[in-house]
Structure 1
Amino acid sequence: MRRGARRSFAVAWLALAFAACVRDPSPAPPPTHGQHPNDFFFARAAAERRGAYPRYFSREQVYWTAIGADGDDRSALLSEDGALEPARRSFTIEPFLAVDGRFVSWADAEIEHALRDGDLPIPRVVWRARPIDLTTRAFVAGLPGASVLYATYRLANHGGAPSRADLWLGIRPFQVNPPWQSLNGAGGATAVHRIAREGRVVRVNGRHAIALLTPPDAFGAARLDQGGLADFLARGALAPGRDAVFDAGGFASAAARWRFTLAPGQVAEVVIAVPLHEASAFLAALPRAADAATHAAAAEDATARRWRARLSRAEIALPPASDPIVPALRAALGQILVARAGPALQPGTRTYARAWIRDGVLMESALLQLGVAETPRDFVHWYAPFQEPDGRVPCCVDERGRDTAVEHDSPGQLLYGIASLWRYERDVETVRALWPHVPRTVDYIERLRAQRLGPEWAAPAKRRFRGLLPESISHEGYWQNPVHSYWDDAWALRGLADAALLARVVGGGAAAQRFAALERAFAKDLRASIEATMAHHRVDFVPASADLGDFDPTATTIWLAPGRARGVLPPAALERTYERYVDDVRGRRAGAIAWDAYAPYELRNVEALVRLGRRDDALFVLREILGDQRPPGWRGWSEIVWRDPRAPQFLGDMPHAWISATYARAVRSLLVYERDDGALVLGAGVPLDWLRGEGVRVARLPTHWGPLAYRMREAGERRLVVEIDAGVERPPGGVVVEPPVAIRAARVDGAPAETGSARAVTATRLPARIEIDY
C-alpha cells in the first residue's frame, strides 16, 4: 500500500471510532474578514464536542506551569490538560486517545497532576481513561542556549484484558495562554502557516523542529478549509494524507498517531523532543528509535539531579504535620529559576516576561536566604547599570530597554538589592563595584523628598504629604490614579538605611553619617505624616497612602519585611491592621465576606504576623493561601486567584515567580528572621505540633551572620530542646529563640537563663543547647 493511502486508511479507520466527536462534520470555513481568530474558535468549540478544542474555548479557565532550564531565555508551558507549548506564541502539541474505539480528550478523563519527587520543575499530567492511563511528562534538558524540551507519553493498561490504545498528538495553532490573557500579547489562537514532516522531524513555521524520537504509524497535515484537527479526527478526510501543508490564514494543523495493543499491566511509551534553540546539532544526532525511551529517561534523570542540587543548598526538614510546606518551598525556588532569562529575574515567562526591580530584589532576597547566591549577584550587577545619570532607577527593563513609568519605589529597592548581597555574602569587592550607584540613588531620593518640603507643605490641608515622596503608580492599586504611596516611602527609608550600611562597608564615614541623618529625618516626617493621615481619614489602622487613607495590609507589610518600621508606625494601629486582616481572611473563607478574587501577594502578611508575635495567625494565613495553588500538584500560584476556579478571567502569569519568592520568604520567617535590632530570631512561626518526634531541623541556612544549623524538638514531658551549632557569627542582638509555649524556666548550656516575659530565650555564644520547660 502506498504511504499516502496507508495514512488515509488509518485516519479513515479513526473516523469510525470518533464519529460522535463533532456535531458538524463539515470542514470549517475560515474566519470572516475582520473576525478575530479567537472569536472564530469560540464559535467552533460551541458547535463541537467538548474536548475537541482547548478548555478555554469552552470559556473555562485553564491553568499551566512553566518548564525550562535554569537561566535560559526560552521556556515551554504545559497546561493542566496536557497541551504543550514549546515557545512563546508558537503552537501546542495536544494529546488525544482512542481506547478500544472510544474517543478520549481532556474532557473525558480524570486528570491528576504532580511534579517529579513532589518538588522539581518536571511536571506530570495523568489522564485516567479506564482501563488506560496516559501520563505526560515534560522537562527541559541541557544548558541555557542549548536546551531541549522533551515530552514522554506513557500508556499503561490497568485493566484485566488486552486493550487497543491509539495516541494522537495534534500540532495546533493555539497557545497554552488563554484568550483573556491580553497583557503583553493576546492568548488563545496563534499563527501556524506551515507544517512539514521530513522523516522523524516535523517543522512548524520553518522555525521550530519537533523530533518524533518514537516514529509514528501515521501522520497527516491539513489547512483549516480542509478541516481542522478535530474535523479530520472525526471525518477521516485528511485527503491526500499529506506530509506538508501551507495555510495562508495561519490555521494549519497536523497529527501523528501511534497504535498499541496492550496486555494487562503492559506499558508503551512515545517520546518527542523540541530543541529550544538552534536545532541542527541535536537533529543530526537523534537516538535510534529503539533507544528513544532510554535516551529520554537518562536525560530526565540528569535534569532531575541538576535541579535537586540547585534547590537543596539549604536543608529544611519538617515533620509530616507540616506538609506540603517544604515541597512547595523547593518548588517555589525552581519556579523563580525557570522564570529568569539569563541574569534577568522575571515574575513570569509569558505575560510578565520582563524584569522589574520591585519583583527582582524580593526574588533576589528569597534566593539568598535559601543558599542560591550567584543568581542574585548576576541580577544586581545586570540591573544597576540601567540607572539613569540623574539617579532615577527604572521600574522595569526588557528587550526594549528601560521603562519610563514613574514609580518611586525603585530607588530604595536598588539600594536594598545591593545591601542584600553584602549581608549574605560579605564581599567587599562586590560593594565597591556597585558603590557608584549608592550615592547617586540617595541623591535622587533626596531630590524627590525636596519636592514635598517647601513651606506650602506645612499648610493644614497639605501637612500629611510633607516630606513624602511624590505621587507614583508603583503599587498596583494606584496605576490609574497616582498617589502618595507609603509603599514607596517604606522602600526609600529601607534604602537610606542600607546606603548608610554600604558606606560603612567601603569606609565612607562621612557618607554614612549623611545617609543615616537623612534616614532619621525621613523617619520623623513619615511618623508625622502617618499620624496626620490617620486623623484626617479617621482610621485606626496603618494607611497605605496619604491621599486615600486606604486599608491595604499586604502593602503595609513592606514596613516590617524588609522595611524598618521601628519608631515609625503607631504600635496600636499596626496591631489593628493585622487583626483586621486576619478577620477578613477568616470571613472570606467562611463566606461571611463577599469576594470575587484576591492576590496571593498576601503571603507577605505571613512575615508581618510572625514579627508581630501572631504565630497562629501566620500559620493560618499560610495554609489558606497554600490551598489556592492551582493545580495543587504543581505547587504554583497565578497572580490572581478567582473564587470560581473556572471563571474565564485574567490570571497574570503562572507560576508567578514573585509570589513564589514571597512564599519562600514567608516560610523562612517561620524558622528564622533577622530583627532590626541585630538579633537572629529562631522558631517564631513554628507550632508545637511540629516539635514532636524528630521536630524541626535546618542546616546550611544563610543568615546575615553566616550559615545557620539548629534543631528544635520536644524532649520529655513539657520540655523543649533547641540545639544551635557553631557557624553563625555572634549577632549583635544575640540568637533569640521564641518557642510556641509560655516559658516556665530555661537553661542555656546548663545555666539558668532570662526568659524575656516568658516568651524568649537568648543565647550569646554558639554552639548552644537550650532547654525550655513550659
Structure 2
Amino acid sequence: MRLSREGEINRLDFDFHGHGGYAIARREVEVDLPANYQFTFRIRGEAPIETLELKLIRGDDVWWTNRRDFAFPREWSTVVTKKRQISFAWGPSGGGDAKHINAMEVVVTAGSGGKGTVWFTDPVLEELLVTNEIGGLIIDCASCSVPDALQERVGNQLFVWLPDAPTQTPRIAGETRSVTTQPPSWAPAKNDFYSIVAKHATRGEYPRYFVGEQSYWTVIGADGAENEALVGEDGAVEPFKSGESIEPFLIVDGKRLTWADVDITQSLAEGDLPIPSVTWTTKNASMTMTAAVSSSSMLQLRYRVRGNASLRLEKRPFQVNPSTQFLNTEGGVAKVFHPELKHVPEWCAPPARFSKGAPEARTTRCEIDIPLQAGAKHEPFEKIAADWREKLHRVAIDIAGAPEIGDTIRANLAYTLIHRDGPALQPGSRSYERAWIRDGALISSLLLRLGHAAIAKQFATWFASFQYDNGKVPCCVDKRGADPVPENDSHGELIFLIDEIERYTGEKILQSHKEAAARYINELRAQNHGEFEGLVTESISHEGYSAKPVHSYWDDFFCVKGVNTPDFRRDVADSIRRTIDKHQLDYVPASVELADFDPTSTSIAISPLGLATLLPEKELRRTYEKYLSNLARPRADYTPYEMRNIGALIRLGEKNRALQLVDLFMLDRRPRGWKQWAEVVRTEYRKAGFIGDMPHAWVASDFIRSVLDAIAYEREDGTLVIGAGVPRRWLPLHVGPLATSQGAIDVRISRNGKVDVKGARNYVIAFSESPSNK
C-alpha cells in the first residue's frame, strides 16, 4: 500500500495480492461535530470492486459507514455521507453518537482482493440545518402510484419509499384523498420500509421477521459444494445467497392461507438426514414441503398437498435470511435475482386437479428442480438419502435411552459438511462463510473421530498454504484470501490440527509449517516483559476482545499445546496465579488485563486441550460453581459455545452437573425438529435480533465433542477414560468404531451397566453401576 499527495488530491495505491487486507488514508484532526452534518469528498479510481469505508475515530472508539461492493467511478464523483448513515463500529464506550473526533480515515478494504489506484479529496465536514427532508409517503388512494419509486399497497394505503429525496413531494399519478410525508428517519433502509408496511398488512403477508418476530432456518446443500440454499421454518426457500425466495400459500375454499393461518412443524428425513421438511396443517388440508440437494447441487423441492386445497408458489423479493442479520451478508430484502427462478411455476398444485376420493383424502404432488451450480443433475430422493446415510453413520452412535442425542450429532455433522466449500471448513453459509483456523481445527478434531479424516487433512493442507513466510498463521481465509488481523490463538491452532491428524491417523504431515508456527510463537513470547513475561503478545484473540486487544489466556492455551515446553507451561501457570492474586479473584481469569470471568473460554484448556494441570484447582472448581450459579438467574440470551463446559465438567468428574447442561442446551435447539443451534440463543423464542449463522458448525462441534467425551476421552498421559459422562438413563449404548490415538475402539454399555470395550490398549472404566448414576 502506498499513500501519496498530488497537490490537493490523495492517491492510494494498493495490491491485496488476492488476499484480505486494507489500505488506509488517515488524517489527524480535532473536531467537534455539530448536531447534524455530512461529510463530502470526491473520488475516482482505477480499481476493482472493493469495500469503501469512512471512519471517524476518538481514541479507541470508531464510528463508520461501510459501502460494500463499491464500484469506483472512472470519472470524478461525489460521495456524501450523512450523520444518519454513520453508526458506532467498536470501542470501549460501547455506542452513542460521535460528538468529538481526533482522526478520520478513508479505507479501502479487500472485497475482490485485487489491486488498483484510488484518488480522492479530503473529506469536508458540512453542518446541516434542520430541513424538511422527505424519506417517504403514505398516500390514501384507491389506485394511485408514484413513478420510479419503491411502493407497496395495503388496502387503500400506498406506502412509498423515497431515500435521499428532495424536499418537494414527488409526482403522484392518480387521484388521492390524502398524502402524509415522512422524514428520512421513517425508513432509512429498504428493510425498515418493509417492516413498516408489514405491520400495517394482514399478518402472514410478509415474512415473520418484518413484523418483529425472530424467524429460524436451516441449510441444505451438497457436501463440500460452494452454494447452499436456506429453508425457512415457515416453508419459504432461498435458493441463492442474498436472493429472493419461493414461498408457499394454500388456497382453501377460496381463501388464501399464509404461514400465520396454519400450524407448522419441522422435521428431518429419518430424524438426522439433511433433508428438511416443513408441514402446514389446517382443519381441512395440509401441505408438506421437503427439500433436498443432489450430490451435483441440484436443489429439489417436493410439495405434497392433502385435502381440498390448491398450492400457489410465489417468488418473493425477500430472503429467508432475516433482516436482523447484518454481518457480511445483510438479510431481509433480496439483493440478487437469479434467472433460474423464472421457471418456478405459479401454481404447484393447481385448483381442481385432485385424485378421486373424499376431499380429505385427495393428494396432489409436484417437484421443482433448481440448479445451484452449472452441471447440476437430478437424483432420486432415495439416492440422496443413501449418500448422506453413509457419511453420517460411519461411526455408530446408538444411545437407546436418549436417541435425540445421536440424531443431533449426526444432523450437525451433516450441516458441517454442507457448510464447507471444497477444503474450506466454515462455521456457516451466510454471516460466517469464511474459514477460521480456530473453527476448522476444532471441527477437524471431530471429523477425525467420526470417520472423515480425509476432510480434516484437506483442510489442514489448504489452510497451511496461507501461512506467512515468518510463520504467522492467519486467523481466517475467505475468497479474498487471508485476513491480516492478528489473532494469536491461530498459530497454536494450526499446530494442534497437525498434531491431531498425526494422533488419529499416524500420518506426519505439514511438519515445516508446524515448525514455522512454533518459531513464530516463541518470537511473540520474546516480545513480552514484566507482568506479561513468557506469554504471547496481545490480540483480539477469539474475537472476544475486538474493542481492545489484550493478553488472552485462550491464545496461550493453544500456543502452549502447540509448543509444549516446560518454561512456557510454567510462564502461563505463573501468570494466571499472579492475576488471581493481584485482583483477589476466586476464579480462573480469561485475560491478564481484564481479569475477566469467562468459563467458556477457560474450558478450552480442559477439553479438548487437556491442560487442566496448568490451572489452580481451587479457583478452577470455583469457576464452574460460579458459572452454574449464574445459570439459575434469568438471562435474555447467550451463545451456546457454552456447551464446551459440558466436556470440561466431565473431565473434572462433575458428571451430574454436565448432564444437566446437556438437557438444558438440548431444549434450546431452534427449531427442535431440525436439531440445530444458532450462534446466539435468546430465551424468549420470538424476540428478534442477530443470531449469527444457523446451524452453526463451531457451536455444534462443542456439543459433539462433549458427548463423545462422555463416552470416551483421552487424558494428557494417553489413557482412555471410558463412560465418565454416561448416565444409566442413556442405556443401552453403543458407539464405534470411534477413532482414538490407540486406534478405533468400540464401546458398549448394556442396560444393566456392563461395559465392553474393544480395540483399546490402555484405558480405565469410569462408568459407575451405582443406582445413583441416573
TM-score interval for Structure 1 and Structure 2 normalised by the shorter chain: 0.7 to 0.9
Deviations 1:556-603 (Å, cap 9, x if unpaired)? 011111224253111111111112222222x1xxxxx24211000001
- Matched residue of 1:477: which SS? coil
> d(CA) in 1 for partners of 2:638 and 2:771?
38
- Deviation, structure 1 residue 26: 6.3
- Deviation, structure 1 residue 260: 3.7
Deviations 1:155-183 (Å, cap 9, x if unpaired)? 012xxxxx2x1211110111111112111
- Matched residue of 1:269: which SS? strand
- Deviation, structure 1 residue 688: 2.1
Relative to structure 2, which stretch is displaced further, 706-715 or 571-580? 706-715
- Matched residue of 2:662: which SS? helix
Please list, as runs of the form range in 1=range in 2, the aligned pairs for 1:669-680 lying within 5 A after superposition: 669-680=709-720
Contact 1:209 1:275 in 2 (8 A): no
Please list, as runs of the form range in 1=range in 2, the aligned pairs for 1:319-338 lying within 5 A after superposition: 319=400, 321-338=401-418
Q: One-letter code of the match for 2:414?
A: G
Q: One-letter code of the match for 1:117?
A: E
Contact 1:210 1:272 in 2 (8 A): no
Match 2:238 to one of 80, 85, 88: 85
Deviations 1:588-645 (Å, cap 9, x if unpaired)? xxxxx24211000001001100100011111111110111010000011110001222
Contact 1:363 1:658 in 2 (8 A): yes
Match 2:314 to one of 170, 178, 181: 170
Contact 2:603 2:644 in 1 (8 A): yes
Deviations 1:238-265 (Å, cap 9, x if unpaired)? xxxxxxxxxxxxxxxxxx9665446332
- Matched residue of 2:549: which SS? coil
Q: Which residue in 2 is equivalent to 1:736? A: 764
Q: Which residue in 2 is equivalent to 1:265? A: 361
Please list, as runs of the form range in 1=range in 2, the aligned pairs for 1:177-576 lying within 5 A after superposition: 177-191=321-335, 205-206=338-339, 208-209=340-341, 211-212=343-344, 259-261=352-354, 263-278=359-374, 299-319=380-400, 321-428=401-508, 431=509, 434-453=510-529, 457=530, 463=531, 465-497=532-564, 519-576=565-622
Deviations 1:8-27 (Å, cap 9, x if unpaired)? xxxxxxxxxxxxx9851566
Distance 1:69 1:643, change over 3 A: same
Q: One-letter code of the match for 1:385?
A: S
- Deviation, structure 1 residue 477: 2.4
- Deviation, structure 1 residue 375: 1.0
Gaps of 5+ in 2: 1-151, 166-187
Contact 2:314 2:346 in 1 (8 A): no
> d(CA) in 1 for partners of 2:162 and 2:281?
35
Please say if 1:62 is aligned against 2:158.
no
Q: Which residue in 1 is equivalent to 2:169? A: none
Contact 1:31 1:37 in 2 (8 A): no
Gaps of 5+ in 1: 1-20, 158-162, 193-203, 219-255, 283-295, 458-462, 498-518, 588-592, 745-758, 760-773
- Deviation, structure 1 residue 492: 0.4
Contact 1:332 1:663 in 2 (8 A): no
- Matched residue of 1:386: which SS? coil
> d(CA) in 2 for partners of 1:622 and 1:259?
49
- Matched residue of 2:743: which SS? coil
Please say if 1:722 is aligned against 2:755.
yes
- Deviation, structure 1 residue 544: 0.6
> d(CA) in 2 for partners of 1:483 and 1:216?
56
- Matched residue of 2:300: which SS? strand
Match 1:647 to one of 670, 683, 687: 687
> d(CA) in 2 for partners of 1:370 and 1:471?
35
Q: Which residue in 2 is equivalent to 1:43? A: 196
Structure holding more strand per residue: 2
Please say if 1:148 is aligned against 2:298.
yes
- Deviation, structure 1 residue 427: 2.0
- Deviation, structure 1 residue 476: 3.1
> d(CA) in 2 for partners of 1:156 and 1:703?
50
> d(CA) in 1 for partners of 2:712 and 2:409?
15
- Matched residue of 1:39: which SS? helix
Please say if 1:607 is aligned against 2:644.
no
> d(CA) in 1 for partners of 2:700 and 2:352?
41
- Deviation, structure 1 residue 31: 4.7
Deviations 1:446-473 (Å, cap 9, x if unpaired)? 00000114xxx1xxxxx3x221111111
Contact 1:22 1:49 in 2 (8 A): no
Tell me: higher relative CO, structure 1 or 2? Use CA pairs within 8 A at least 6 residues apart: 1
Please list, as runs of the form range in 1=range in 2, the aligned pairs for 1:113-152 lying within 5 A after superposition: 113-143=266-296, 147-152=297-302
Contact 2:293 2:384 in 1 (8 A): yes
- Deviation, structure 1 residue 191: 3.6
Q: Which residue in 2 is equivalent to 1:24? A: 155
Contact 2:153 2:159 in 1 (8 A): no
Q: Which residue in 2 is equivalent to 1:698? A: 735
> d(CA) in 2 for partners of 1:624 and 1:277?
40
Contact 2:449 2:738 in 1 (8 A): yes
- Deviation, structure 1 residue 742: 5.7
Q: Which residue in 2 is equivalent to 1:225? A: none
CA RMSD of aligned residues (A): 2.2
> d(CA) in 2 for partners of 1:565 and 1:409?
15
Please give the TM-score of this superposition, normalised by the length of structure 2: 0.74
Deviations 1:694-732 (Å, cap 9, x if unpaired)? x221221111111111211254xxxx422222x33x2xx
> d(CA) in 1 for partners of 2:298 and 2:698?
26
Please list, as runs of the form range in 1=range in 2, the aligned pairs for 1:750-765 lying within 5 A after superposition: none
> d(CA) in 2 for partners of 1:599 and 1:605?
12
- Matched residue of 1:476: which SS? coil
> d(CA) in 1 for partners of 2:613 and 2:194?
59
Match 2:678 to one of 638, 655, 674: 638
Contact 2:276 2:291 in 1 (8 A): yes
Contact 1:216 1:258 in 2 (8 A): no
Deviations 1:633-685 (Å, cap 9, x if unpaired)? 00111100012221121000010011111111111111000111110111000
Please say if 1:628 is aligned against 2:668.
yes
Q: Which residue in 2 is equivalent to 1:242? A: none
Distance 1:258 1:486, change over 3 A: farther
- Matched residue of 1:579: which SS? helix
Runs of 4+ in 1 over 6 A off after TM superposition: none
Q: Which residue in 2 is equivalent to 1:749? A: none
Q: One-letter code of the match for 1:338?
A: I
Match 2:248 to one of 79, 90, 95: 95
> d(CA) in 2 for partners of 1:616 and 1:417?
31
> d(CA) in 2 for partners of 1:111 and 1:22?
28
Distance 1:594 1:689, change over 3 A: closer
Structure holding more helix per residue: 1
- Deviation, structure 1 residue 116: 0.5
Distance 1:31 1:99, change over 3 A: farther
Distance 1:529 1:373, change over 3 A: same
> d(CA) in 1 for partners of 2:329 and 2:415?
22
Q: One-letter code of the match for 2:688?
A: P
- Matched residue of 1:264: which SS? helix
- Deviation, structure 1 residue 323: 3.5
Deviations 1:327-381 (Å, cap 9, x if unpaired)? 1011110010011111000000000000000100111011111111111111001
Contact 2:313 2:346 in 1 (8 A): no
